[in-house]
Structure 1
Amino acid sequence: MKEVTQLDQGWALQYEGEHVPASVPGCVHTDLLNAGLIPDPFLAANENDVAWVGRRDWTYTTRVAPVSAHERTDLVFAGLDTAARITLGAAELGRTRNMHRSYRFDVTGLAGELAVHFTSAYQEAAETRALTGARPNVYPEPFQYIRKMASSFGWDWGPTLPTAGIWRPARLEHWSTARIAQVRPLVTVAEGNGRVELHLTVERTATGTTHPLTVRAAVAGTSAETVLDGDAAVLVLEVPGPELWWPRGRGEQPLYDLDVTLSDATEPLDTWHRRIGFRTVELDRSPDEDGTGFTLVVNGERLFARGVNWIPDDTLVSRVTPTRYRERLTRAAEANIDLIRVWGGGIYEDHAFYDACDELGLMVWQDFLFACAAYPEEQPLRGEIEAEARENVVRLMPHPSLVLWNGNNENLWGFRDWDWEPELAGDSWGEGYYLGLLPRTVAELDPTRPYTAGSPWSGSWDHHPNDPDHGTHHSWEVWNRRDYSEYRENVPRFVAEFGWQAPPALATLRRALPGEALAPDSPGMLHHQKADDGNDKLDRGLARHFQPPTDFDRWHYLTQVVQARAVATGIEHWRSHWPRCAGTIVWQLNDCWPVSSWAAIDGDGRLKPLYHELRRLYADRLLTLQPPGVTGAPEAALVNQAGQTWETVLRLRRLAADGTITAQTELPVRTDARSVTRLVVPLELLPAEGSTTELLVADADGQRAVHIAVTDRHFAYPKPEFDVTLAPAEDIDGAVEVTVTARTLVRDLLLQPDRLSPSATADRGLATLLPGEQLRIRVAGCGDVGVDDVRAALFCVEPA
């Protein structure tokens, strides 16, 4: 049987003639940081002080003596970042130039010092650019000339820290006769029965070429066996009536162990194991009277995808552990998210990421790794890209959570709208990848899943790439230049990116900017704001709705409110137009460091108010008030994505700002499963146009929607008054239950738990209370706090 020796000990990083202890997996930055040789690049402006690290060459060394009774020993690297020359003793084993591939070298009989010599990513990119010629991109960094995580060169939410290192595990594999080289399982379902078509290839030693080999596969109590003729075989396993894997909220996520064993006449030689799920997935792009649809269909059911975009969870990606993946993705599931888009400027994530998605019922939309740039199609990049795509399609295809392959992020759009075409003057820019190489690769290797050429993409050049009526749409004009109310101006078929910024939690800022007197424009705040004109956009968005705040705490609170409201405005509008609109993917779930960004979970893992708002917005049942539409009057929309009919009573009240009810009614409403009911609000319940003293409140089954005819800065809010009491939470040790009782209208009340303790968490975000109403907030990890402490952590909208 094959034996494996992990190479995770005894490594050193050469630095200034010294040997610094190194971690594998790891990277140069983490090793230098652990040795105390550089400051933490995530704090203050230290990113600038460590810029030299990415411009140097680096060498990792260890000693190996691969003694084994087996015929063959291979040195295997699951990931090298990025341009490397590998030597063992006096022998050069090979050279690499792709972070997104694995590498295998025959080291049988070799021993001595193993060295991995990394060339600066900038140097490698410059050499490639000299071969291919220059191409445009959106940032002044050369990420399209090297197959490396693009965002390591910086983004409008990330630091510029292009690193180097052995970023995924390294090992020695000792084997005889033959080993399993690749298993490609095609998992399908037809008429309630499952089918696994296993395409297997083996590698043999010189003496193993004539050995008869047997391959046996088993799944769900079904097995198949064949004698290998040559180096490849196909086995088919028919599984009667398997339980289907469903996205979260639609059903369960049963997973089945798929085991493959390779044997010769006397003993097993190698094994392969994955967990698979049985389900069907289609992408309905049928034309209709509204344009061209984009609807995911799983197990025959059409879905409104409730999604978020995922970026690398740490710029120093080797620090992301299976536990961290699980925590982030569990948070996503708890927020009623059912789709994660792995964005094209990052990485193909570790199996631990997709394992968690499999178990949690989170569908995965996987970008191929191209983002916001024109990519040369010449060598040496083309060969690398094909090898990378082929390896990762096969590596990830066992995961049932993976439902869509996507060719690129914004490059088809960029070619058309960002003045690339004249600059390119006929040079290649990536179209041959997105419309040729990649769809051919998916069709050959993984025909069980749909492929789309890009995001955004209208489906063909017959339409603008970002046409909201055709395919996927990225809505960035609103954040960049307009008010969030203008999300309501159209109904895209599928919104694959949109979002609004806010700063991270206060405790995150204090950790990242030690000793700084925080202000929106303080040095550290500006350094940790990477978006072009980012703070001015935050301030313009705030000023459209509120009086400019006079202190940092109010600015911090109000920018959080605006972020949550902006995203809510888009999702409520688009969900209310199902099935024309079939999904939204918020930019973004997570951050890779402490930064002002569009994320719902900040770089220290703290939840922004947006996170709690997403939990409401993505619940199966959503109540929303929409401004005048085709009827010319405001409407209440009841969105029911559950599998059961929603029968409820809709309570509509027109109130004065002091809480007095001036008109009200109750309407019985029945909304069928997977459908939307829209009701015109009776005229007598509407605040007068431009009213600064009345509001409309809608309630149904614990959900609330509020409509005010003017912006908050013009509304006559009363001075908020409320009482606060504390009691121990009965079911969580050390937690407290905060009860807030409103004595006036209290708009967008928020408890910021990290103001009580950096480790504190709260179970809810923004809430609006009418006079006499109570709100209970459970706070964990806050230690011994009093009412005054809690009051200092409570914020709400105040009169202008």
Structure 2
Amino acid sequence: MRLPSTFAPFAGPWHLTATGGDVPHGFPREPVPAVVPGLVHTDLLRAGLIADPFDGDNEAAQQWIGSTQWRYSTTFDWADDGSTRHDLVALGLDTVATIELNGQLVARTENQHRSHRFDVRHLVREGANELTVTFAPPVTEAERRDAEHGAWPHVNHHPFNQLRKTASTFGWDWGIDVASSGIWQPIGIESWSGIRIASVRPLVGVDGTDGVATVHVEVERDAVSEHAPIHLEVRVGEARSAVTVAAGEVSASVAVRVADAKLWWPIGHGEQPLYDVTVAVTGMPAARWAGRIGFRTVEVDTAPDASGNRFVVRVNGEDVLIRGVNWIPDHAFVTELNRDRYVRRLADALEANVNLLRVWGGGFYESDDFYELADEAGLLVWQDFLFACAAYSEEEWLANEVEAEAREQIARLAQHPSLIIWNGNNENIWGYVEWGWREALGDRGWGDGYYRDLFPRLLAELDPTRAYSPASPYSFVDYAHPNDERNGTMHIWDVWNQRDYTAYRDYAPRFVSEFGFQGPPAWSTLTRVVHDEPLAPYGHEMLVHQKAESGNLKLELGMAPHLPAPRGIEEWHWATQLNQAHAIRFGVEHFRSLTPHNTGTILWQLNDDWPVVSWAAVDFDEHRKPLWHAMRDAYAPRLATIQPRDGGLALVLVNDSANAFAGTALLTRRSLAGAVLGVARVEVDVAARSVSTYALPSEVAAIGDAGDELVVADLDGFGRAVHDGADVIAQRLAPDAAEASAVRTEGGYRVSVRARSYLRDVFLAVDRLDPAARVDAGLVSLLAGEVAVFHVASEADLDPGLFTRWPVLASANALLR
């Protein structure tokens, strides 16, 4: 949240004190230094009073923190500057807080997801002032409300749905249980006179070749200006308009027309021009707001067709095929996030050919940095309202907070062209229909009133320019199951939980907004926090860092049909990472081959919030897992994939680009040793933003010896598609197929790998040698005689030969050593 010039955050020093609750014996009762913005866990870690919460089994040893009452305190000097108003502004309090100034109660708050403002001119005094913010223990408070108001169904073990607090901080099936407290955004005094700009909502439209920005402004007046007119000037780029707000009025709308406006497009569809917007009160330099907008139109087409109800994202009238990832908080302690980390994480998405991020409903409304970077990059954003995997009370004590939070966040995010979809909740309608909630709830409200009434009403009032979905998954048709593959959006979780990943082919979904498969983080990330001796899949600390139910058993069962049984922990680590990559490549290529019946996929998940075995493509220490490389290839705008069709094999070409393509596909059937067993050439023609399918001729498709044959399609402009005749477990891959060499270069190392015979899924686990090292490619398969060159960025002084040996040089072949 950008801070107005009149706002002065308290600089501290701040102190933190445990004032009650489950405090362990010997913990200091005197205040310890604190940092604001910050959280209790990070303050205690900084003070040396706790060990790293992410390490070993410290999570269990530190559960007392969430059951303890904490008080933040500071003193500040204040002098009256003659302003008529002096407001205490708290941009983010986590969560149930009592604010006192000079011993007097200011307010009690109970929502992490909104800001608060209080007139304290009657409490603030010349000279020294003391401010305290006391937080109720979040775990204890959630349990207390559960007892007081009645239980509402939820996943996991804490009743997180009783508080307007980031749900995943109470633990998730990928997240550590660190329900903390703290002042997580700035707090301070804003002194002002006359007029304060309270809110600006710039809504965009396109009229012919012009862009139209309708800028809605809300102001707050002091007593002196209450009966005076206000003159507002609004600038959008070089265009300007003005309006007078009549005496006593506190809101106005200003339409600004930008002639021949350049449209903002998603990445892959055009450029991302942004226009500066300023709102100013004439004669009051401090009363000013600045932001940026992009002109574009958005709709989601959910109309019925011959197959059900479609789900088509449309920007500027053009269909956008979605190659998405789900986004969770990128750190379990949100105050540890900064713009540089967001830059790196969005680069992970962009370089993997992602065009949409879905901000999941168990996290928080993302930061200005996140949205600004998405605007600049052309990354589309789907933002959930913060309701996930639980029923929620609709009684006044919670409903009032929900509405206030939604109003603030809708207005805050209105300026961002990247935001195209608001979504009511994650899996809650599905849960009500299928997870046994109805019997437990009886006739009590469970959140449906938010999803189907409140949020649509608020968006109609505050921002009708964006699409809205009541839930994910959701069918957009009465009487249909919310997770019906024929309609709307779908989550596919029986794969991973119960079924082999080849079951993805059993589905023909219209749009998949969640699906995923697990794998461990990079070796250095895992061993930094897991210290079991010996290291093993079912070791105590290993399972602390595996939050999914029976997660490592599911990893074992999931790879058994596809890969040889691992011989030791190093093979287990590589095999489970490789199986994760194979599963997602399999699923994505199948779903994309169904275009235009299927119009998008959103992989669960891009990122992690701590070091953990999970569905993430990029681990907490920012290593790109093998999955990331598989996703990058499967999400290529132009994808060639070989799929089963009509009892045979077919080459499917997905052309998600603006240009048509025509060329010749070279099709070969080969032995692993390199002998060419069949050859065909097929002339192909694929229109822009479309798919073409070509049956493979029998001389190529008729595999004779599945363990020793593969089918290859090469096509300039689309790259290569490979159909393996068998899974790794049944292939006669040569364990010594890799011939490798490595040399030192400026800034790192160059590793060359030549294939003596078919070499499948070459991957350099460079973090094993240097946790800071990065490599430019991975999961590369080579035909006999082919060479791949990998460039490793590393400042470490290493023996280059280490890059050429297992387990740094890994491949599917290596599992057959």
Task: Using structure 2 for the length normalisation, give the TM-score.
Answer: 0.95
Q: Which moved more, 1:267-276 or 1:315-324?
A: 267-276
- Contact 2:6 2:286 (C-alpha < 8 Å) held by counterparts: no
Specify the alignment match of 1:133 in structure 2: 150
- Alpha-carbon distance between aligned partners in 1 of 2:395 and 2:704, rounded to the nearest angstrom: 61
Superposition map of 1:61-210 within 5 A: 61-67=73-79, 68-109=81-122, 110-111=124-125, 112-210=129-227
Superposition map of 1:154-553 within 5 A: 154-229=171-246, 230-264=249-283, 267-514=284-531, 516-553=533-570
**Cα shift at 1:690:** 6.9
Specify the alignment match of 2:672 in structure 1: 657
- Contact 1:200 1:233 (C-alpha < 8 Å) held by counterparts: yes
Q: Which moved more, 1:361-370 or 1:459-468?
A: 459-468
Specify the alignment match of 2:728 in structure 1: 712
Specify the alignment match of 1:11 in structure 2: 14
Specify the alignment match of 1:46 in structure 2: 58
Q: Which moved more, 1:581-590 or 1:788-797?
A: 788-797
Unpaired runs of 5+ in structure 1? none
- Alpha-carbon distance between aligned partners in 1 of 2:50 and 2:258, rounded to the nearest angstrom: 56
- Contact 1:472 1:494 (C-alpha < 8 Å) held by counterparts: yes
**Cα shift at 1:505:** 0.2
Specify the alignment match of 2:46 in structure 1: 34
**Cα shift at 1:225:** 1.1
**Cα shift at 1:365:** 0.1
- Alpha-carbon distance between aligned partners in 1 of 2:606 and 2:107, rounded to the nearest angstrom: 39
- Contact 1:184 1:198 (C-alpha < 8 Å) held by counterparts: yes
Equivalent residue letter for 2:256: L
Instruction: Note the alpha carbon deviations across 1:695-733, whole angstroms, 9 max, x for none.
Output: 21222227222223332212222333222223455xxx4
- Alpha-carbon distance between aligned partners in 2 of 1:336 and 1:358, rounded to the nearest angstrom: 16
- Alpha-carbon distance between aligned partners in 2 of 1:562 and 1:91, rounded to the nearest angstrom: 60
- Contact 2:637 2:655 (C-alpha < 8 Å) held by counterparts: yes
- Alpha-carbon distance between aligned partners in 2 of 1:2 and 1:768, rounded to the nearest angstrom: 56
**Cα shift at 1:479:** 0.9
Equivalent residue letter for 2:209: G
Equivalent residue letter for 1:13: L
- Of the candidates 669, 684, 693, which is equivalent to residue 669 of structure 1? 684
Specify the alignment match of 1:726 in structure 2: 742
- Contact 1:178 1:269 (C-alpha < 8 Å) held by counterparts: no
**Cα shift at 1:737:** 1.9
Q: Which moved more, 1:550-559 or 1:499-508?
A: 550-559
**Cα shift at 1:8:** 3.4
**Cα shift at 1:462:** 1.5
Unpaired runs of 5+ in structure 2? 19-27
- Contact 1:646 1:670 (C-alpha < 8 Å) held by counterparts: yes
- Contact 1:459 1:471 (C-alpha < 8 Å) held by counterparts: yes
Alpha-carbon distance change, 779 to 204 in structure 1, aligned in 2, over 3 angstroms: same
Q: Which moved more, 1:192-201 or 1:700-709?
A: 700-709
- Alpha-carbon distance between aligned partners in 2 of 1:741 and 1:175, rounded to the nearest angstrom: 70
- Alpha-carbon distance between aligned partners in 1 of 2:505 and 2:544, rounded to the nearest angstrom: 33
- Contact 2:485 2:508 (C-alpha < 8 Å) held by counterparts: yes
**Cα shift at 1:222:** 0.7
Helix, strand or coil at the partner of 1:160: coil
- Contact 1:176 1:269 (C-alpha < 8 Å) held by counterparts: no
Instruction: Note the alpha carbon deviations across 1:568-604, whole angstroms, 9 max, x for none.
Output: 1111111111111111000000000000000000011
Specify the alignment match of 1:641 in structure 2: 656
- Of the candidates 753, 756, 768, which is equivalent to residue 743 of structure 1? 756
- Contact 2:309 2:477 (C-alpha < 8 Å) held by counterparts: no
- Contact 2:743 2:800 (C-alpha < 8 Å) held by counterparts: no
**Cα shift at 1:797:** 1.8
**Cα shift at 1:787:** 4.3
- Alpha-carbon distance between aligned partners in 2 of 1:717 and 1:314, rounded to the nearest angstrom: 40
Specify the alignment match of 2:25 in structure 1: none
Q: Which moved more, 1:296-305 or 1:698-707?
A: 698-707
- Contact 1:306 1:336 (C-alpha < 8 Å) held by counterparts: yes
- Alpha-carbon distance between aligned partners in 2 of 1:612 and 1:624, rounded to the nearest angstrom: 16
- Contact 2:741 2:801 (C-alpha < 8 Å) held by counterparts: no
- Contact 1:314 1:592 (C-alpha < 8 Å) held by counterparts: yes
Q: Which moved more, 1:663-672 or 1:364-373?
A: 663-672
- Alpha-carbon distance between aligned partners in 1 of 2:532 and 2:734, rounded to the nearest angstrom: 37
- Alpha-carbon distance between aligned partners in 1 of 2:670 and 2:301, rounded to the nearest angstrom: 45
Equivalent residue letter for 1:720: D
- Contact 2:648 2:701 (C-alpha < 8 Å) held by counterparts: no
Aligned residues: 793
Alpha-carbon distance change, 621 to 38 in structure 1, aligned in 2, over 3 angstroms: same
- Contact 2:142 2:158 (C-alpha < 8 Å) held by counterparts: no
- Contact 2:97 2:133 (C-alpha < 8 Å) held by counterparts: yes
Helix, strand or coil at the partner of 1:457: coil
Equivalent residue letter for 2:118: F
Q: Which moved more, 1:698-707 or 1:672-681?
A: 698-707
- Contact 1:648 1:668 (C-alpha < 8 Å) held by counterparts: yes
Helix, strand or coil at the partner of 1:154: coil
Helix, strand or coil at the partner of 1:155: coil
- Alpha-carbon distance between aligned partners in 2 of 1:434 and 1:690, rounded to the nearest angstrom: 55
- Contact 1:576 1:676 (C-alpha < 8 Å) held by counterparts: yes
Helix, strand or coil at the partner of 1:550: coil
Alpha-carbon distance change, 573 to 162 in structure 1, aligned in 2, over 3 angstroms: same
- 1:607 equivalent in alignment to 2:619: no
- Contact 1:196 1:237 (C-alpha < 8 Å) held by counterparts: yes
CA RMSD of aligned residues (A): 1.5
- Alpha-carbon distance between aligned partners in 1 of 2:8 and 2:197, rounded to the nearest angstrom: 17
- Contact 1:651 1:665 (C-alpha < 8 Å) held by counterparts: yes
- Contact 2:708 2:725 (C-alpha < 8 Å) held by counterparts: no
Helix, strand or coil at the partner of 1:436: helix
- 1:699 equivalent in alignment to 2:702: no
- Of the candidates 693, 699, 710, which is equivalent to residue 678 of structure 1? 693
- Alpha-carbon distance between aligned partners in 2 of 1:30 and 1:157, rounded to the nearest angstrom: 20
**Cα shift at 1:782:** 5.4
Alpha-carbon distance change, 363 to 758 in structure 1, aligned in 2, over 3 angstroms: same
- Contact 1:587 1:599 (C-alpha < 8 Å) held by counterparts: yes
Equivalent residue letter for 2:778: G
- 1:767 equivalent in alignment to 2:787: no
Moved over 3 A (4+): 514-517, 687-690, 784-787
Task: Using structure 1 for the length normalisation, give the TM-score.
Answer: 0.97
Equivalent residue letter for 1:17: R
Equivalent residue letter for 2:10: L
- Alpha-carbon distance between aligned partners in 2 of 1:69 and 1:724, rounded to the nearest angstrom: 75
- Alpha-carbon distance between aligned partners in 2 of 1:552 and 1:705, rounded to the nearest angstrom: 32
Helix, strand or coil at the partner of 1:65: strand
- Contact 2:12 2:76 (C-alpha < 8 Å) held by counterparts: no
Alpha-carbon distance change, 476 to 319 in structure 1, aligned in 2, over 3 angstroms: same
- Alpha-carbon distance between aligned partners in 1 of 2:774 and 2:662, rounded to the nearest angstrom: 34
- Alpha-carbon distance between aligned partners in 2 of 1:451 and 1:75, rounded to the nearest angstrom: 34
- Contact 2:211 2:257 (C-alpha < 8 Å) held by counterparts: yes
